[in-house]
């Protein structure tokens, strides 16, 4: 087991390295750098001005070297200006070249400086992640129990009225992407045209003071899309368990139906949904980006859109590291959890 | 011109429909409640050996449900039929039904033909045994026909890009201020914030989805199959390497990938053209290996066949990836492609990059599915028999394993078209790839959402259209799964 986890962590690191290099490569293509220069300086810069801006920032070195600097395995680039001052990635505003370290990459704990938010990337990501974390917490709290209940109710008796109705509901929610359900919810519950006005159409206020009124719709929108899928998986696993031999034995012994479901079936039926829920995290990340844009909730997904739209290289890299980390860790947890929950499977 | 109301002179149907729908909802709820509360129907054996089932309440509820469902469907059809006959005097619904007339005719024809010959049509025919599958197929074909006829300008009432002054954000059914000859007199679903016709834009948007989604999914399947079969069949190093690459792409959040790939800056570097050149070669490899592995024992037949098929495929491939005589054309350098006079069609840069990135995102998942299926099927006896016969590995993969994996693959194909539709919508929603005035559903939703709290009509039609198409594909996949499991 220890070796298995060790190997998985190794693969994880390799994947993260490859992915960040890919992001690095794509964001450092010349047209993207030109865009960065123009958004930083002004949009009327001539080609020579763009060139000198990029030269000063050290953007014109070969990509592997820049990547090494970002990682913190190569000394970072310094540019001596005409007036003799030295500027560079490691030299923060208000510091001189002598007191700044030579290496400053993520290995040293320095994530860079966001060109969009004019803040250190680590603060930006930390703040935004906290906001998104709150959103995700409520999404999980709403999605997981309701999906499991739906799936179990539907899977208890295959082909029953409850099963058909709930399955249709589950299919409908999986067919409704967030930008469709969000728009429909906003139209029905917040617009003055329908006139219900039960909720707020934006979640901007929810960043400081989340209430049911301004926070429920974004949570519901994300939860609904993931819910159908988990419910269908739970239903499939539940129907499989309900046809197992030991359930029949229990029935023949005369155990009551609620008892069979609660004591015999449920624990076995919940193994498969566990992995599904874990693997759902990457999908939720997509939902978060869409919903945060739709409801104007300035969290992690919103920061991703801002960073990508303005080619904020450092922030984009940090965001991809975080999201890749989330994806890979949830994969690892789902694998380990599956083995832990299901004694029939052992890793050879 | 008078503004149109929703139902016009067939408004007498509205209360009837409301009653039928209310009855249906009540009976569904009662059905669920009954199945929980009431005991299972007891079977009693009569002295003469026949069975009688009790529990009249359940039967009653089911009968009510069936009749209320039939009544709702019948009323829905009545709206459409009356609408087709009466046109604008039956309100917006009537006018729209009349515009959709070619679609209704094709659907009726298709269903009549399919049901008449369903025993001779294999899996497709069996689809018409399952109500769920039929409903799903109907929804999908509705949008397919809408897309095709919309592209032929049969359904649209106005040009989707032209603006009519005075029609900005007008509600559904508003007449145009001044009507020229031959022009349709109303904006059936209102005008958007640039005074364009929402109805026509929705119909034109269907064509974009119907064009791109199935084709992109097919390319993703070709890539996934060509790489997944050897990975599953050979296993070992090849499998490890390819699986690592697939997981690499899957670990990327899709939207981040789109933001990195589908920007004008990236298009300017030519990266999408390289990706297109690599991804689109897989179908050619697939075709070549498929035919070669089958006919290599008969070189006299195989060689001309391969030359013919691969020649056409290569020509299509080169026309697809080269634009204006270049494969890659950036400011600094360019790679020559097919000369313009041989180029069959040009794909606009925006569409190409959207297409490539959707294929790129979908293929690793297909790869994983195919790999899993191949690993499972290669342990079967018929594969061992083929190996003993001395068949080559590619013959076994493509002619023994692949046909036996078709069930799950067809089901996944339907689901994946739906997912691709969602991805296209996502791209449009973030304004990536397609030009901003493009009538695709994602872009229209994105534009409409900005004024959503005041005007609902620009955003809701494309949203509901996308919802119904994806729902149709999911139901179709469900029906296919059910029917293919029955064998």
Can you tell me the distance from the alpha carbon of B29 to that of B31, in angstroms, rounded to the nearest whole number?
A: 5
Q: Identify the pLDDT of residue B487.
A: 61
pLDDT in tens, B447-474: 888 888 788 888 899 999 999 999 999 9
**DSSP code per residue over A131-142:** HHHHHHHHHHHH
Assign B42 a pLDDT band (cuts: 50, 70, 90): low
Query: B13-37 and B56-86 helices cross at what angle (nearest 10)?
Result: 160
Query: Above 50 in pLDDT, residue B72?
Result: yes
| Average pLDDT of every residue of chain B | 86
Find the range with the poorest average confidence among B111-115, B349-353, B397-401, B461-465: B349-353
Instruction: Using an 8 Å CB-CB cutoff, list chain B residues near A328.
Output: 251
Interchain contact, A320 vs B475, CB within 8 Å? no
Which of A275-279, B260-264, B273-277, B420-424 has maximum average pLDDT? B420-424
Q: What is the distance between the alpha carbons of residues B35 and B25, in angstroms, rounded to a whole number?
A: 15
Decide if A162 and B269 are in contact by the 8 Å CB cutoff: no
Q: Does residue A26 sit at the B interface (CB-CB below 8 Å)? A: yes
- Scanning B38-178, the segments in alpha helix (DSSP H) are 56-86, 91-99, 101-116, 122-126, 131-151
Q: CB under 8 Å to B450, separation ≥6 — which residues?
A: B193
Q: Which residues of B touch A324 (CB under 8 A)?
A: 251-252
- The residue with greater pLDDT, B472 or B317, is B472
For residue A123, CA distances in Å to A95, A300, A318 come to 19, 12, 11
Looking at residue B144, what is its pLDDT? Answer: 94
E strands, B171-309, where? Answer: 174-175, 186-187
Which residues of B fall within a CB distance of 8 Å from A14?
244
How far is B70 from B55, CA to CA, in rounded Å? 23
CA of A173: which chain B residue's CA is closest? B471
CB-CB neighbors (< 8 A) of A177 in chain B: 422, 425-426, 466, 470
Find, among B404, B49, B353, B374, the residue nearest to B239 by Cα: B374
Q: How far is CA B281 from CA A55, B276, B315, in A?
A: 39, 8, 12
* Chain A residues whose beta carbon lies within 8 Å of the beta carbon of residue B467: 175-176, 180
pLDDT at A54: 80
Interface contact A161-B248, CB threshold 8 A: no
- Residue A345 has what pLDDT? 63
DSSP B154: S
What is the chain B residue with the closest CA to A184? Answer: B460
User: Is A87 within 8 Å of chain B by CB?
Assistant: no
What is the model's pLDDT at position A69?
A: 83
- If pLDDT is split at 50, 70 and 90, which confidence band does B332 have? low
List CB contacts (< 8 A) between A286 and chain B. 253-255, 426
- Interface size A-B, in CB pairs within 8 Å, comes to 154
Cα of A102 to nearest chain B Cα, Å: 30
Task: Supply B351's token pair.
Answer: 């569409």
- By C-alpha distance, the chain A residue nearest B267 is A31
Whole-prediction pTM: 0.89
* Of A310, A322, A182, A124, nearest in space to B253 by CA: A322
Q: Please name the residue of chain A whose CA is at the shortest distance from the CA of residue B453.
A: A191
Q: Cβ-count burial of B199 within 10 angstroms (0-12 exposed, 13-18 middle, 19+ buried)?
A: buried
Q: Which residue of A has its CA nearest to B254?
A: A286
pLDDT of B54: 58
A174·B460 Cβ contact <8 A = no
Q: Which H helix or E strand runs over B171?
A: none
Q: Which residues of B touch A191 (CB under 8 A)?
A: 452-454, 456
Q: Are A293 and A302 in contact (CB under 8 A)?
A: yes
How far apart are the CA of B29 and the nearest CA of chain A, in angstroms?
Answer: 9
Distance (Å) from the C-alpha of residue B183 to the closest C-alpha of chain A?
30
| Nearest CA among A124, A152, A181, A308 for reference residue A239 | A152
Inform me whether the C-beta atom of residue A176 falls under 8 Å from chain B C-beta atoms: yes
Nearest to A161 among B31, B253, B425 (CB): B31
Spatial contact of B229 and B401, defined as CB atoms under 8 Å apart: yes
Q: Which token pair is B68?
A: 């209320």
Roughly what angle, to the nearest 10 degrees, separates helices A313-341 and B254-261?
150
User: Who among B453, B460, B474 is closest to A174 (CB)?
Assistant: B474
Q: In the prediction, which pLDDT does B213 show?
A: 92
Rounded-to-10 torsion of CA A98, A103, A109, A112 = 80
Q: Compare CB distances from A187 to B254, B442, B452 and report the shortest one's residue.
A: B452
| Chain B residues touching residue A323 (CB < 8 angstroms) | 252-253, 256
> Residue A301 corresponds to which tokens in the numbers above?
């997904």
Choose among A289, A186, A280, A215: nearest CA to B429.
A289
CB B470 within 8 A of CB B390: no
Percent residues over pLDDT 70 in chain B: 95
Per-residue pLDDT at B331: 65
Verify whether the Cβ–Cβ distance B265 to A324 is below 8 Å.
no
- Give me the long-range contacts of A30-37 (CB less than 8 A, separation at least 24): A30/B269, A31/B264, A31/B265, A31/B266, A31/B268, A31/B269, A32/A311, A32/B263, A32/B265, A32/B266, A33/A59, A33/A311, A34/B265, A35/A310, A35/A311, A35/B265, A36/A115, A36/A310, A36/A311, A36/A312, A36/A313
Q: Angle A271-279/A121-156 helices, nearest 10 degrees?
A: 150
Q: What is the ipTM of this complex?
A: 0.88
Which residue, B260, B376, B395, is CA-closest to A23?
B260
Q: Could you report the per-residue pLDDT of B263-274, keeping only the tens digit for each?
A: 877 877 878 888
In this predicted structure, the answer to whether residue B56 has a pLDDT above a threshold of 60 is: yes
Q: Which residues of chain B does A194 touch, with a Cβ-Cβ cutoff of 8 Å?
A: 456
Could B452 and A290 be called an inter-chain contact, meaning their C-beta atoms sit closer than 8 Å?
no
Inter-residue contact A34 to A57 (CB < 8 Å):
no
Q: What is the pLDDT of residue B138?
A: 93
Does the pLDDT at position B83 exceed 80?
A: yes
What DSSP letter does each residue of A148-206 carry, written as one string?
HHHHHHHHHSTTSHHHHHHHHHHHHHHTS-HHHHHHHHHHHHT-TTT----S-S--SGG
Q: What are the chain B neighbours of A190 within 8 Å (beta carbons)?
A: 452-453
The predicted pLDDT at position B55 comes to: 59
A187 and B266: CB-CB below 8 Å?
A: no
For residue B423, count other CB atoms closer than 10 A to its CB.
25
Q: Give yes or no for a contact between A116 and A306, defined as CB atoms under 8 angstroms apart.
A: yes
Q: What is the pLDDT of residue A346?
A: 58
pLDDT at A9 over 90: no
Q: State whether B466 and A180 contact (CB < 8 Å).
A: yes
Q: Rounded to an integer, what distance in angstroms lies between the CA atom of residue B69 and that of residue B267?
A: 52
Identify the band that residue B41 occupies on the pLDDT scale cut at 50, 70 and 90: low
Burial class (CB in 10 A: 0-12, 13-18, 19+), B62: middle
B407 vs A170, higher pLDDT: A170
Q: How far apart are the C-alpha atoms of A187 and A160, rounded to whole Å?
A: 34
Q: Among the listed ranges A175-179, B1-5, B300-304, B356-360, which one has the minimum average pLDDT value?
A: B1-5
pLDDT band for B223, please (50, 70, 90 cuts): very high
How far apart are the two ends of chain A, measured CA to CA in Å?
9
Residue B139: its pLDDT value, please?
Answer: 93
Per-residue confidence at B160, pLDDT binned at 50, 70, 90? confident
Query: Which of B182, B136, B201, B126 shows the shortest CA–CA distance to B458?
Result: B201
Q: Determine the 3-state secondary structure of B174 from DSSP.
A: strand
Nearest CB partner across the interface for B265, out of A31, A160, A282: A31
CB of B457 within 8 A of CB of B190?
Answer: yes
How far apart are the CA of B474 and the nearest CA of chain A, in angstroms? 7
Mutate to test the interface with A, among B330, B422, B454, B466 (most CBs of A within 10 A): B422
A325 three-class SS: helix
CA–CA min distance B339, chain A (Å): 28
Domain boundaries, chain B: 1-38+56-99, 110-150+205-487
B251–A282 C-beta distance less than 8 A: yes
A327 interaction partners in chain B (CB closer than 8 Å): 250-251, 253
Q: B134 and B151 in contact (C-beta within 8 Å)? A: no
Tokens of A260: 């069979």
Separation of alpha carbons B39 and B14, rounded Å? 38
Residue A348: the pLDDT is 46
Pairwise CB contact (< 8 Å): B260 & A201: no
φ/ψ (deg, to 5) at A186: -60, -40
């Amino acid at each position: 087991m220890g070796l298995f986890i060790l190997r998985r962590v190794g693969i994880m690191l390799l994947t993260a390295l490859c992915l960040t290099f890919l992001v690095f490569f794509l964001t450092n293509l010349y047209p993207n750098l030109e865009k960065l220069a123009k958004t930083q300086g002004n949009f009327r810069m001539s080609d020579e001005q763009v060139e000198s801006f990029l030269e000063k920032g050290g953007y014109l070195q070969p990509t592997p070297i820049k990547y090494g600097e970002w990682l913190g395995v190569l000394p970072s680039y310094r540019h001596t200006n005409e007036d003799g001052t030295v500027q560079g990635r490691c030299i923060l505003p208000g510091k001189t070249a002598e007191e700044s370290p030579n290496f400053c990459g993520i290995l040293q704990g320095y994530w860079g400086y966001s060109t969009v938010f004019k803040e250190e990337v680590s603060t930006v990501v930390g703040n935004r992640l906290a906001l998104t974390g709150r959103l995700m917490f409520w999404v999980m709290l709403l999605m997981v129990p309701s999906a499991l209940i739906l799936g179990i109710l539907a899977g208890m008796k295959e082909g029953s009225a409850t099963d058909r109705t709930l399955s249709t509901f589950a299919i409908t929610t999986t067919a409704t992407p967030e930008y469709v359900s969000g728009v429909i919810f906003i139209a029905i519950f917040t617009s003055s045209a329908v006139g219900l006005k039960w909720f707020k159409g934006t979640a901007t206020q929810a960043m400081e003071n989340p209430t049911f009124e301004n926070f429920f719709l974004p949570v519901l929108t994300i939860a609904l899309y993931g819910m159908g899928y988990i419910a269908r998986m739970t239903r499939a696993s539940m129907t499989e368990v309900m046809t197992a031999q030991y359930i029949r034995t229990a029935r023949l012994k005369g155990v009551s139906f609620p008892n069979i479901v609660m004591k015999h079936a449920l624990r076995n039926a919940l193994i498969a949904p566990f992995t599904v829920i874990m693997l759902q995290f990457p999908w939720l990340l997509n939902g978060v980006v869409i919903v945060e844009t739709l409801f104007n909730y300035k969290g992690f997904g919103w920061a991703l859109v801002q960073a990508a739209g303005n080619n904020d290289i450092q922030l984009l890299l940090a965001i991809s590291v975080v999201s890749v980390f989330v994806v890979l860790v949830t994969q690892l947890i789902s694998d380990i959890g599956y083995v832990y929950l299901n004694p029939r499977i052992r890793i050879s | 011109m008078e503004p149109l109301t929703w139902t016009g002179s067939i408004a007498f149907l509205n209360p009837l429909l409301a009653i039928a729908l209310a009855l249906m909802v009540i009976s569904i709820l009662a059905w669920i409640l009954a199945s929980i509360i009431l005991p299972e129907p007891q079977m009693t054996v009569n002295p003469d050996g026949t069975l009688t089932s009790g529990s009249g309440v359940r039967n009653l509820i089911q009968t009510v449900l069936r009749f209320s469902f039939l009544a709702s469907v019948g009323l829905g059809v009545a709206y459409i039929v009356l609408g087709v006959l009466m046109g604008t005097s039956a309100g917006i619904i009537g006018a729209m039904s009349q515009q959709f007339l070619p679609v209704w005719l094709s659907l009726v024809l298709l269903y009549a033909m399919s049901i008449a010959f369903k025993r001779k049509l294999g899996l497709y025919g069996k689809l018409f045994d399952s109500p769920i599958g039929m409903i799903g197929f109907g929804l999908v074909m509705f949008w397919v026909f809408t897309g095709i006829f919309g592209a032929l300008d049969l359904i649209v009432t106005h040009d989707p890009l032209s603006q009519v002054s005075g029609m900005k954000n007008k509600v559904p059914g508003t007449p145009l201020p001044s009507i020229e000859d031959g022009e349709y007199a109303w904006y059936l679903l209102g005008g958007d914030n640039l005074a364009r016709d929402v109805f026509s834009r929705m119909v034109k948007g269907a064509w974009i989805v119907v064009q791109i989604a199935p084709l992109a999914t097919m390319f993703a399947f070709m890539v996934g199959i060509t790489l997944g079969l050897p990975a599953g069949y050979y296993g070992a190093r090849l499998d490890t390497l390819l699986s690592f690459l697939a997981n690499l792409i899957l670990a990327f959040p899709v939207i981040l990938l789109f933001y990195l790939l589908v920007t004008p800056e990236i298009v300017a570097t030519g990266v999408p053209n390289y990706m297109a050149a690599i991804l689109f070669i897989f179908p050619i490899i697939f075709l070549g290996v498929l035919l070669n592995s089958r006919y290599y024992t008969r070189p006299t037949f195989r060689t001309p066949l391969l030359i013919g098929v691969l020649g056409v495929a290569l020509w299509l491939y080169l026309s697809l990836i080269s634009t204006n005589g270049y494969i890659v054309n950036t400011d600094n350098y360019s790679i020559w492609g097919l000369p313009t006079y041989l180029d069959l069609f040009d794909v606009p840069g925006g569409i190409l990059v959207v297409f490539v990135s959707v294929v790129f995102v979908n293929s690793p998942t297909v790869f994983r599915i195919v790999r899993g299926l191949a690993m499972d099927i290669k342990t079967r006896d018929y594969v061992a028999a083929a190996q003993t016969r001395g068949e080559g590995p590619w013959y076994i993969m493509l002619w023994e394993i692949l046909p036996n994996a078709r069930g799950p693959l067809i089901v996944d194909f339907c689901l994946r078209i739906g997912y691709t539709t969602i991805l296209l919508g996502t791209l449009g929603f973030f304004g990536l790839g397609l030009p901003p005035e493009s009538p695709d559903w994602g872009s229209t939703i994105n534009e409409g959402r900005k004024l959503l709290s005041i005007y609902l009509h620009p955003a809701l039609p494309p949203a509901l259209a996308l919802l119904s198409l994806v729902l149709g594909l999911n139901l179709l996949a469900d029906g296919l799964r059910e029917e293919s499991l029955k064998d």
